[in-house]
Amino acid sequence: MPKTTIVTAIPYVNSTPHIGNILTTLSGDVTARYLRMRGQDVFSVAGTDENGLKIKEVAEALGRDPHEFTAEIAQRFIEIFDGMGMKFDKFVRTSLPEHRAASQALFAKLQENGYIYTAKYEGWYDVSTETYFKEADLVDGKSPDGNEVRWVSEENYFFKLSAFGDRLLAHIEANPSFIIPETRKNEVVSFIKSGLMDQCVSRKNNGWGIPVPGDESQVIYVWFDALINYITATGWPNPGWEEKWPAEAQWLGKDILTRFHATLWPAMLMGADLPLPKHVIAHAWILLGTEKISKSKGNVVRPLELAAETAALAGCSPAVAVDVVRYYITATMGYENDSTFTYEDFHKRYNSDLANDLGNALNRSLAMAHKFVDGIVPDAPVEAEVLEAITRCKTAYEEAMTGFRLERAANAGIDVIRFVNKYVDTRAPWALAKAGDPALASVLRSMILCVRAAEGMLRPFMPTVCDEVARQLGVAPSADWSLIGSPDSLPAGTVLNEPQPIFPRIDLSKVPAPEKPEKPEKPKMEETKKPAEETTGIITIDDFAKVQLRVGRVFEAEPLEGSDKLLKLQVHIGEEKRQIVAGIRANYSPEDLIGRQVVVVYNLKPAKLRGTESQGMLLAATDENGGAILLQPDREAPEGTQVR
């Protein structure tokens, strides 16, 4: 029987993972758990990326053997994944022999099919991210990520990526859900249409990495071999790999989608005559404040530490606290837009979703059942409005998971609980009991069935918590998705256990305020009062000098929700990233803007448009219909350059 394979982008083993870089792996785990409940034979995969030159250099600087060093760090990842409740059927380490064999086999297959050739490579190499850059890509002599680069000039192997542009576009058009979400797909299409360049896929053998088959003087470029891990996990090229490939879902972060997972990787598979994954899902980043959580910046929140802090602060069990972190990360996940982590929001969400909603619904349902029906599920029909509400939430959940929208699925699971809490207030079981109303039995069974349904729907996100919910309900943990919401999942006569709080509330008044890093004040434009007698609008050079104009480059663009005129842009201005809202939607589509240079009023006071902050303004001329014509340099200018 073919398996449903779920793969996740493998993290680079250069530091202990934080909540930002476990998001991908956790998303794969949640997806796999859900599909197993749907009865699918799931094969889930994770791993670590270990062949980078940087790893070797760090190991040598520490006086360590690279093999021992990578094994030690990979074990840290495994322990953290395991500590966060993530379970996988296969864990691929790219430094192991099986991956070496698969990588060399794929490289040789591409050579055989005429897609690998040799040529001289000259350019800049960022060791930190193991990425090659053109001269035009550099910013103040550094990589776009701000890392030091070194000049490389050597004979290397190249992959004919340029040969796959039309085939990639045709595949994307024929398979609308190949790239998720839609905004990311638009970025990929724009990138491919701008022209794909052949990629250097090897470097000089410095004693670490996978040798090019037949040429020990070169090793396969780390990004090239890391992508191959997905089929390494299936056992390719050995017999039986077809049962596990193509993958149903391939999870990754948005920053590695366009250049690698949506162009280079599928082109490699096409070149080797192998099927492409069915869905490539790129989630957005988790920000801490206004910056991406990053090991290099040191602004990290570590998942197990966050769980331990939560257990101590709330008084819940450590295992429950782990599920709290799992739930929060996925329930607030960004797709089109980045999500922002704050301790304040984390604590509030714990109280609202888990303590107030889920915990309260479980406790009051069990307490009233013990008080009014001796703690036994009554033999009475479930009320129709309750069955309809559960079905509605379950359908929303299924639709969300079809599109891999984990945050919407989590919300649908909590919506069942929100419904039952309102239902209890409306139906007032205490009043029915006092009046001797025979409807009491149906109301109580309906209440408990809602909690049972939520236990099943939230299980992929919070498996330990849902085990405890099932225990208190006196039933086995939900394993069959089709039974969720059915009265058969909560048989009459089931003996209910006494309610025990799972989520003690966090007293927000006693939570110490987190230290906030000082932020430099944004430059403010001084108001110039015009003398009453001036009527010509003429300004002096000193007046003009107060306006700072700089060159930026748009790297993300999307319509602003709720407006048919505004676009929300993310713009690089030198080393800074800014969000700018511009009323240019009538003249420009988002895909027209990605990668384009623009002129920005840099020191304009931030303003909110439709509730979204805009940190600057684009310069534009006006056409004959009053529409915008964006201004841009007539040739490429370094981003951040001042316009005079």
Contact between 511 and 593 under an 8 Å Cβ cutoff? The reply is: no
Percentage with pLDDT > 90 across the chain: 68
Structure-token pair, residue 436? 């001797």
Local confidence band at 520 (pLDDT 50, 70, 90 cut-offs)? very low
> Which of 24-28, 166-170, 262-266, 521-525 is predicted with the least confidence, judged by mean pLDDT?
521-525
The residues near 138 (Cβ < 8 Å, ≥ 6 apart) are 124, 144, 149
Residue 396: alpha-carbon gap to chain centroid: 21
Q: Point out which residues pair with 119 in neighbouring strands.
A: 156
Give the pLDDT confidence score for residue 527 in this predicted structure: 43
Structure-token pair, residue 484? 């969720």
Pairing of strands 339-341, 286-288: parallel
> Which of 62-76, 519-533, 564-578 is predicted with the least confidence, judged by mean pLDDT?
519-533
- What is d(CA 234, CA 521) in angstroms, rounded to the nearest whole number? 53
> Which of 129-143, 227-241, 478-492 is predicted with the least confidence, judged by mean pLDDT?
129-143
- What is d(CA 492, CA 495) in angstroms, rounded to the nearest whole number? 9
Pairing of strands 116-126, 150-159: antiparallel
Side-chain-facing half-sphere of 287: CA atoms under 13 Å:
11
- What is d(CA 549, CA 139) in angstroms, rounded to the nearest whole number? 18
Local confidence band at 518 (pLDDT 50, 70, 90 cut-offs)? very low
Average pLDDT (498-519) is 78
- What is d(CA 335, CA 252) in angstroms, rounded to the nearest whole number? 11
Peptide bond into 237 cis (omega under 30): yes
User: pTM of the entire structure?
Assistant: 0.78
Picking from 253, 255, 279, 254, the residue whose alpha carbon sits closest to that of residue 266 is 279
- Tell me the per-residue pLDDT of 533-568, one tens digit each, with 9 for 90 and over: 444 568 787 777 788 999 888 867 788 887 878 999
Give the pLDDT confidence score for residue 535 in this predicted structure: 44
Picking from 600, 77, 549, the residue whose alpha carbon sits closest to that of residue 295 is 77
Give the pLDDT confidence score for residue 368 in this predicted structure: 96
Q: Tell me which DSSP letter residue 627 carries.
A: -
Picking from 229, 207, 210, 228, the residue whose alpha carbon sits closest to that of residue 220 is 210
Does 443 score more than 60 pLDDT? yes
Local confidence band at 123 (pLDDT 50, 70, 90 cut-offs)? confident
Average pLDDT (133-147) is 83
Does 630 score more than 60 pLDDT? yes
Cβ contacts of 164-168, under 8 Å, gap ≥ 24: 164/196, 164/263, 164/266, 164/267, 164/270, 164/271, 165/192, 165/193, 165/195, 165/196, 167/267, 167/270, 168/192, 168/196, 168/262, 168/263, 168/266, 168/267, 168/270
- What is d(CA 97, CA 59) in angstroms, rounded to the nearest whole number? 20
In the block, tokens 């639709």 appear at: 399
Contact between 11 and 51 under an 8 Å Cβ cutoff? The reply is: no
Contact between 575 and 621 under an 8 Å Cβ cutoff? The reply is: no
Average pLDDT (429-437) is 95
Picking from 570, 572, 596, the residue whose alpha carbon sits closest to that of residue 582 is 570
Contact between 570 and 587 under an 8 Å Cβ cutoff? The reply is: no
Domains of the chain: 4-283 (3.40.50.620), 334-507 (1.10.730.10), 541-643 (2.40.50.140)
Give the pLDDT confidence score for residue 307 in this predicted structure: 97
Top-ranked range on mean pLDDT: pick from 111-125, 381-395, 504-518, 606-620: 381-395
Peptide bond into 460 cis (omega under 30): no
Local confidence band at 624 (pLDDT 50, 70, 90 cut-offs)? low
Peptide bond into 318 cis (omega under 30): no
- Tell me the per-residue pLDDT of 24-44, one tens digit each, with 9 for 90 and over: 999 999 999 999 999 999 999
Give the pLDDT confidence score for residue 1 in this predicted structure: 66
- Tell me the per-residue pLDDT of 63-100, one tens digit each, with 9 for 90 and over: 888 889 889 989 999 999 999 999 999 999 999 999 99
The dihedral formed by the CA atoms of 594, 599, 601 and 606, expressed in degrees to the nearest 10: 0
Does 251 score more than 60 pLDDT? yes
Average pLDDT (236-242) is 97
pLDDT higher at 381 or 21: 381
Structure-token pair, residue 400? 């969300």
Q: Point out which residues pair with 7 in neighbouring strands.
A: 45, 250
Picking from 567, 573, 560, 611, the residue whose alpha carbon sits closest to that of residue 592 is 567
Average pLDDT (282-301) is 74
Q: What 3 state SS string does 234-263 have?
A: CCCCCCCHHHCCCCCEEEEEHHHHHHHHHH
Amino acid sitting at position 353: D
Give the pLDDT confidence score for residue 487 in this predicted structure: 97
- What is d(CA 637, CA 428) in angstroms, rounded to the nearest whole number? 68
Region of residue 215 (left: phi > 0; alpha: psi -120 to 50; beta: else): beta
